[in-house]
């Protein structure tokens, strides 16, 4: 059975040594010194390894079951959720006014990485609740906030997001669910929503659904969509009272995340309460989009992390074949898999991705903190630009790496009992939900690049360029192994941006045909930047003789691998982008 160990040293390295969290001037950050961070991550890690991780295969095998209208979660989930609640883990970065602990989002992100790696399907229950919490926190009336938030902070009541309908996913303007205003100021919500994660279950007293619906007579399409709070049990005197008109149609059979109840939800004149303004439902949803999408990006690399940990253990343990350069395990019948260069290549791909991805995701979370807690418009703009890259790139690569980890096991990787298949199957959804990755690419190229006159992408380019300037002449090895490759990759990125500027205006398809490649190109540049920054820190630490030299040497070696073996993908992405729309759009739809 797979195991999981929270990579606390690596997490602290990014939080404290690279980002310098405790030295950043953001409210709440000042208390986050190395000891405090270590204490938090250590405790979270125990919950992840000892409680959540053993339930991961249980959730996969048992799944959720709908019986007489009631959803039963897998054995042990409820007890684990109680432990999570009691430990205060659901309240980590929530508002102290509603019972939260007020810790930085970046710290909650590090904890979330652990929980997601240990049990992705499980962690979606508090994860979705947090999303709904954020929406009510940002757009609710004081009365709504007082009514719902304290219970959602503790996850005594959990939350959901209801967007998709059978005939519309990305194109929410086609939505049919309607909300009819009543004399008492409430609405009657009627319609069917699908793919509702954590839609119903037996682990909380109440489920607070956030539902997108159209008020009859409102504007056509996406501009006529409003957001409603539809509790499973209507709140009476602060407690769940009468059953509302919402029921589970069925639980979907999915490729993975079986431990999470993905429901078809039927609303039949359910009582709903407007959240925010009429017809401004999409705006309310978008408020929490950056955070939600960063959270999905995190799921992507978290699955890669846990899959990597197990693949590594297997590669060290499994004896098969001999090292071509000389026997390494003369007393055994064969050498461990890890002696073989192609196994190394595979493991280094995984390792260098996961560690780079972690730095990238934490950097994004840090920007979200800066945006929310310091009202920093530049940080907000930059993280908005980065969000589709964090979501799209980290989930694509996360799935790829989970699949690669499965490959290390040979035939055993395909057998469910060994658990590697689950990592790949679970990771697969992250490429799809919260906006399929093609939609992320469209958001990036069609919207974010040009946002505020292209200011944010220019700011990002400037960050990279400044870094390259600042690190000039550090050392020959840094120059060759990090600085030059980063420079070349960022040149590719800028060339791609230039191609879009020159061609996208007269032919939008010329840009959109390259959108997916651009998302990946930018992802590689971001990870390249992260690795170069990590290398600088590691080199400095080594120079000052700090701590564990082997740790920093390993960091540099892992970074060098990424720069040499992964970053060159930017060239191919650029080539594809520059080939434009012509070959992509050459065929009529009928000719396919």
What residues numbered 548-587 form the site for a copy of itself, per CB under 8 A?
A: 550, 553-554, 557-558, 560-561, 564-565, 568-569, 571-572, 575-576, 579, 581, 583-587
Tell me: does residue 342 bind a copy of itself (CB under 8 A): yes
Could you tell me which stretch among 200-208, 364-372, 511-519, 541-549 binds a copy of itself (CB under 8 A)?
511-519
Taking the complex as a whole, the smallest distance from the CB of residue 149 to a copy of itself amounts, in Å, to 29
Alpha-carbon torsion (359, 364, 365, 371), positive or negative? positive
Residues 80-109 that bind a copy of itself (CB under 8 A): none
16 is catalytic: no
Question: 458-487: which residues touch a copy of itself (CB under 8 A)?
Answer: none
Q: Which of 165, 305, 434, 539 is catalytic?
A: 434
Residue closer to a copy of itself by CB (options 145, 209) is 209
Stretch that binds a copy of itself, among 1-9, 45-53, 147-155, 248-256 (CB under 8 A): 248-256
Cα separation of 183 and 51, whole Å? 48
Instruction: Report the residue from 21, 106, 338, 427 that binds a copy of itself according to the rule CB under 8 A.
Output: 338
Out of 243, 316, 447, 480, which residue is the one contacting a copy of itself (CB under 8 A)? 316
* Coil, helix or strand at residue 157: strand
280 vs 138: CA distance, rounded Å? 13
433 binding a copy of itself? (CB under 8 A): yes
Answer yes or no whether residue 333 interacts with a copy of itself by CB under 8 A.
Answer: yes
- Give, in degrees to the nearest 5, the angle at Cα 565 between 531 and 433: 70
Task: Please count the residues of the chain.
Answer: 592
Q: CB of 63: closest distance to a copy of itself in angstroms?
A: 11
Binding part of the chain for a copy of itself, among 127-135, 379-387, 489-497, 506-514 by CB under 8 A, reads: 506-514
- Torsion, Cα 468 472 476 482, to 10 degrees, reads -10
Which of the ranges 23-31, 240-248, 359-367, 417-425 carries the binding residues for a copy of itself, by CB under 8 A?
417-425
Q: Which stretch binds a copy of itself (CB under 8 A): 104-112, 119-127, 144-152, 399-407?
A: 399-407
What burial letters (b/e) apply to 56-89, b meaning 16+ CB within 10 Å?
bbbbbebbbebeeeebbbbebbeebbeebbeebb
> Within 515-544, which residues bind a copy of itself (CB under 8 A)?
515-516
Among 1, 39, 70, 319, binds a copy of itself (CB under 8 A): 319
CB atoms within 10 A of CB 415: 11
Please state the closest distance from residue 168 (CB atom) to a copy of itself, in A: 7
Burial class (CB in 10 A: 0-12, 13-18, 19+), 412: middle
Separation CA 502–CA 513 (nearest Å): 14
Rounded to a whole number of angstroms, the minimum distance from the CB of residue 405 to a copy of itself is 13
Pick between residue 101 and residue 515 the one whose CB is nearest to a copy of itself: 515
Minimum CB–partner distance for residue 424 and a copy of itself (Å): 8
CA distance 338 to 344: 6
Bridge-based pairing state of the strands 225-231 and 206-214: antiparallel
By CB under 8 A, tell whether 120 contacts a copy of itself.
Answer: no
When the beta carbons of 62 and 168 are compared against a copy of itself, the nearer one is 168
Those residues whose C-beta lies under 8 Å from the C-beta of residue 276, and which sit 6 or more positions away, are 139, 140, 226, 227, 283, 284
Which one of residues 178, 344, 373, 455 is an interface residue with a copy of itself (CB under 8 A)? 344
170 contacts a copy of itself (rule: CB under 8 A): yes
Give the per-residue SS3 of 426-486. HHHHHCCCCCCHHHHHHHHHHHHCCHHHHHHHHHHHHHHHHHHHHCCCCCHHHHHHHHHHH
Query: Contacting a copy of itself (CB under 8 A), which of 330, 411, 453, 545?
Result: 411
Distance CA 284, CA 478 (A): 45
Q: Which of residues 180-199 bind a copy of itself (CB under 8 A)?
A: 194-195
Angstrom distance (rounded) from CA 77 to CA 202: 9
C-alpha 541/C-alpha 552 separation (Å) is 7
* Nearer to a copy of itself among residue 21 and residue 512 (C-beta): 512
Contact pattern for a copy of itself over residues 347 through 376, marking x by CB under 8 A = xx--x-------------------------
Phi, psi of 235 (to 5 degrees): -80, 125
Dihedrals phi, psi of 344, to nearest 5 degrees: -60, -50
Burial degree of 581 (CB within 10 A; 0-12, 13-18, 19+): middle
- Judge whether 366 and 269 are in contact, CB under 8 Å: no
User: CB of 91 within 8 A of CB of 100?
Assistant: yes
Among 110, 386, 424, 537, binds a copy of itself (CB under 8 A): 424
Size of the site for a copy of itself (CB under 8 A): 93
CB of 61 to a copy of itself, least distance (A): 9
Taking the C-alpha atoms of residue 194 and residue 253, their distance in angstroms, rounded to an integer, is 12
Using rule CB under 8 A, residue 252 touches a copy of itself: yes
**CB 459, min distance to a copy of itself, A:** 26
**Binding of a copy of itself by 446 (CB under 8 A):** yes
Task: State the pairing for strand pair 70-72/65-67.
Answer: antiparallel
* Residue 416 is a binding residue for a copy of itself (CB under 8 A): yes
- For a copy of itself, the closer of residues 537 and 574 by Cβ is 574
b (16+ CB within 10 A) / e for 324-354? eeeeeeeeeeebbbbbbeebeebbbbbbbbb
**Among 55, 343, 493, 521, interactor with a copy of itself by CB under 8 A:** 343
Using rule CB under 8 A, residue 410 touches a copy of itself: yes
Taking CB under 8 A as the rule, does residue 336 contact a copy of itself? yes
Q: Which stretch in 127-135, 154-162, 228-236, 435-443 sits in contact with a copy of itself by CB under 8 A?
A: 435-443
Interface stretch with a copy of itself, choices 79-87, 270-278, 279-287, 311-319 (CB under 8 A): 311-319
Q: Which residues are identified as catalytic?
A: 434
């Amino acid at each position: 059975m797979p195991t999981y160990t929270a990579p606390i040293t690596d997490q602290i390295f990014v939080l404290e040594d690279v980002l310098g969290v405790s030295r950043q001037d953001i409210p709440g950050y000042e208390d986050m010194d190395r000891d405090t961070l270590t204490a938090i991550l250590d405790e979270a890690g125990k919950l992840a390894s000892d409680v959540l991780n053993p339930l991961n295969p249980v959730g996969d095998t048992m799944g959720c079951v709908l019986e007489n209208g009631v959803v039963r979660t897998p054995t042990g989930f409820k007890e684990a959720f109680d432990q999570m609640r009691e430990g205060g883990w659901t309240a980590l970065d929530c508002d102290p006014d509603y019972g939260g602990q007020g810790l930085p989002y970046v710290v909650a992100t590090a904890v979330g990485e652990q929980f997601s790696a240990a049990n992705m399907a499980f962690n979606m229950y508090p994860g979705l609740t947090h999303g709904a919490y954020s929406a009510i926190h940002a757009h609710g009336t004081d009365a709504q906030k007082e009514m719902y938030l304290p219970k959602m902070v503790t996850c005594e009541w959990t939350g959901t997001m209801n967007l998709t309908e059978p005939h519309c996913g990305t194109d929410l303007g086609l939505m049919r669910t309607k909300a009819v205003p009543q004399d008492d100021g409430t609405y009657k919500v009627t319609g069917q929503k699908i793919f509702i994660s954590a839609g119903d279950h037996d682990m909380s007293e109440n489920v607070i659904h956030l539902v997108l619906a159209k008020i009859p007579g409102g504007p056509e399409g996406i501009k006529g969509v409003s957001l409603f709070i539809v509790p499973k049990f209507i709140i009476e005197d602060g407690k769940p009272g009468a059953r509302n008109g919402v029921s589970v149609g069925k639980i979907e059979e999915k490729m993975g995340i079986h431990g999470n109840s993905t429901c078809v939800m039927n609303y039949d004149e359910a009582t709903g309460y407007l959240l925010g303004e009429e017809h401004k439902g999409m705006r309310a949803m978008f408020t929490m989009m950056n955070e939600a999408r960063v959270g999905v990006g995190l799921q992507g690399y978290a699955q890669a992390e846990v899959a990597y940990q197990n693949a590594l253990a297997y590669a060290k343990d499994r004896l098969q074949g001999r090292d071509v350069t000389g026997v390494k395990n003369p007393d055994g019948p064969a050498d461990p898999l890890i002696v073989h260069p192609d196994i190394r290549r595979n493991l280094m791909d995984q390792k260098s991705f996961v560690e780079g991805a972690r730095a990238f995701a934490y950097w994004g979370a840090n920007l979200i903190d800066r945006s929310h807690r310091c009202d920093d418009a530049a940080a907000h703009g930059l993280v908005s630009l980065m969000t589709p890259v964090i979501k799209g790139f980290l989930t694509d690569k996360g799935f790829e790496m989970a699949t690669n980890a499965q490959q290390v096991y040979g035939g055993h990787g395909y057998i469910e009992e060994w658990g590697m298949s689950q990592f790949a199957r679970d990771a697969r959804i992250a490429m799809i939900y919260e906006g399929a990755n093609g939609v992320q690419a469209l958001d990036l190229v069609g919207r974010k690049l040009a946002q505020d006159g292209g200011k944010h992408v220019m700011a990002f380019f400037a960050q990279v360029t400044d870094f390259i300037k600042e690190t000039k002449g550090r050392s020959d090895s840094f120059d060759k192994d990090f600085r030059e490759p980063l420079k070349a990759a960022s040149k590719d990125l800028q060339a791609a941006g230039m191609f879009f500027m020159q061609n996208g205006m007269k032919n939008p398809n010329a840009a959109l045909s390259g959108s997916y490649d651009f998302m990946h190109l930018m992802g590689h540049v971001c990870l390249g930047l992260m690795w170069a920054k990590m290398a600088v820190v590691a080199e400095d630490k080594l120079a000052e003789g700090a701590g564990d030299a082997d740790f920093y040497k390993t960091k540099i070696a892992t970074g060098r691998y990424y720069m040499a073996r992964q970053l060159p993908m930017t060239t191919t992405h650029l080539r594809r982008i520059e080939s434009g729309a012509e070959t992509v759009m050459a065929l009529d739809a009928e000719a396919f």
